């Protein structure tokens, strides 16, 4: 199985546009699983129109104190990195929204007064798009602060036997992006030739340097902005995988929920070629 994540740093560069058209292009000849990891605002399903057949709760395990056992030693309060516990007025209080579910308090309680109970923070939606290709997306409940547990639980549903996993990443370069692409086999970075695109691309290259995945760049809205992006990329080892032209009809089409490959059919082959190029890069790198 090849796991390909699509990320950008900057929002609105065309991650979902690329991910959905790539999925659709590859779905004819390959078996695909598509994961929308942008759990705070998932929307790839608006393009791929999957049929959702199963909804599971996404949970985080939070401590529950047995007050009959608790000896008020406050070790759980001291150990908690996230200040999710406090000893106030002779009682331990749990602040569930601050809890990352790490389990340290449970492990450190000397009298086993802490057990863990699942708290629902969102949903995992499981279904199919086109013919039996798996479609998965997570959705964080509004007002919940922590997206990463949902992303991890969504990724746990990836099936090893399915040939390709396409992971549509959230924007930014923070925890939820790292959770999405830390174990990706390849990362496609979608950017645009503007100072903003370049600035945020550099942030993402910093993330990639840490996660260690090979990566390539798609330049979207090619034709606008300036040449600084390409000048910069020429100084790195990251290849330009594809350029998508800036055309008003693309924006108009996307705004009505159409796929890029429907609006610009001649680009269809570019996606399959790109996949072959990525695959051969991976085969060279791991020496298969």
Partner 1 sequence: MILMISSLGTTLESPPNPRFGRTETYIKYNLEDNTWVALENPAVSQAGGAGVAASQFLANQGAAIAISGRFGPNAYHALNAAGIKMMTFDGNYKTVEQVVEAYKENLLEEA
Q: What does the binding site for partner 1 look like in residue numbers (CB under 8 A)?
A: 77, 81-84, 86-89, 91, 93, 95, 97-98
Q: Which long-range contacts (CB under 8 A, 24 or more apart) does 221-227 make?
A: 221/13, 221/14, 221/192, 221/193, 221/194, 221/245, 221/246, 222/193, 222/246, 223/193, 224/192, 224/193, 224/194, 225/192, 225/193, 225/194, 225/195, 225/197, 226/193, 226/194, 226/195, 227/193
Tell me how far, at minimum, the Cβ of 58 lies from partner 1, in Å.
20
Beta carbon nearer to partner 1, 98 or 264: 98
Beta carbon nearer to partner 1, 63 or 216: 63
Q: Report d(CA 229, CA 207) in Å as an integer.
A: 18
Tell me how far, at minimum, the Cβ of 143 lies from partner 1, in Å.
11
As given in the structure block, the two tokens for residue 73 are: 């030693």
Beta carbon nearer to partner 1, 84 or 114: 84
Tell me how far, at minimum, the Cβ of 73 lies from partner 1, in Å.
14
Whether the CB-CB separation of 171 and 199 falls below 8 Å is answered with: no
Tell me how far, at minimum, the Cβ of 72 lies from partner 1, in Å.
13
Beta carbon nearer to partner 1, 54 or 93: 93
Beta carbon nearer to partner 1, 97 or 128: 97
Beta carbon nearer to partner 1, 178 or 264: 178
Beginning with the edge strand found earlier in the chain, give each strand of the sheet holding 133-140 in spatial order. 51-65, 114-129, 133-140, 32-36, 164-168, 2-7, 186-191, 215-222, 240-245
Tell me how far, at minimum, the Cβ of 77 lies from partner 1, in Å.
7
Residue tagged 């007050």 (tokens): 67
Tell me how far, at minimum, the Cβ of 102 lies from partner 1, in Å.
13
């Amino acid at each position: 199985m090849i796991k390909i994540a699509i990320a950008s740093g900057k929002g609105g560069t065309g991650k979902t546009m690329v991910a959905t058209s790539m999925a659709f292009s590859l779905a004819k000849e390959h078996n695909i699983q598509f994961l929308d990891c942008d759990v705070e605002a998932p929307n790839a399903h608006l393009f791929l129109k999957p049929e959702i057949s199963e909804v599971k709760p996404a949970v985080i395990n939070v401590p529950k104190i047995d007050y009959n056992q608790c000896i008020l030693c406050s070790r759980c309060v001291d150990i908690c990195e996230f200040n999710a516990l406090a000893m106030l007025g002779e009682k331990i209080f749990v602040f569930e929204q601050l809890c990352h579910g790490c389990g340290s308090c449970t492990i450190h309680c000397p009298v086993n007064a802490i057990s863990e109970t699942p708290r629902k923070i969102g949903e995992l939606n499981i279904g199919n798009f086109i013919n039996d290709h798996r479609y998965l997306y997570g959705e964080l409940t509004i007002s919940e602060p922590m997206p990463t547990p949902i992303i991890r639980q969504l990724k746990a549903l990836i099936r090893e036997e399915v040939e390709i996993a396409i992971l549509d990443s959230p924007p930014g370069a923070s925890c939820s992006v790292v959770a999405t692409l830390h174990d990706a086999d390849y990362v496609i970075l979608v950017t645009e030739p503007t100072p903003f695109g370049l600035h945020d691309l550099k942030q993402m290259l910093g993330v990639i340097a840490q996660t260690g995945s090979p990566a390539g760049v798609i330049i979207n809205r090619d034709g606008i902005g300036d040449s600084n992006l390409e000048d910069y990329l020429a100084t790195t080892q990251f290849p330009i995988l594809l350029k998508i032209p800036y055309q008003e009809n693309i924006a108009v089409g996307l705004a009505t929920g159409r796929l890029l490959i429907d609006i610009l059919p001649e680009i269809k082959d570019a996606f399959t070629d790109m996949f072959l190029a990525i695959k051969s890069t991976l085969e060279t790198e791991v020496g298969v």
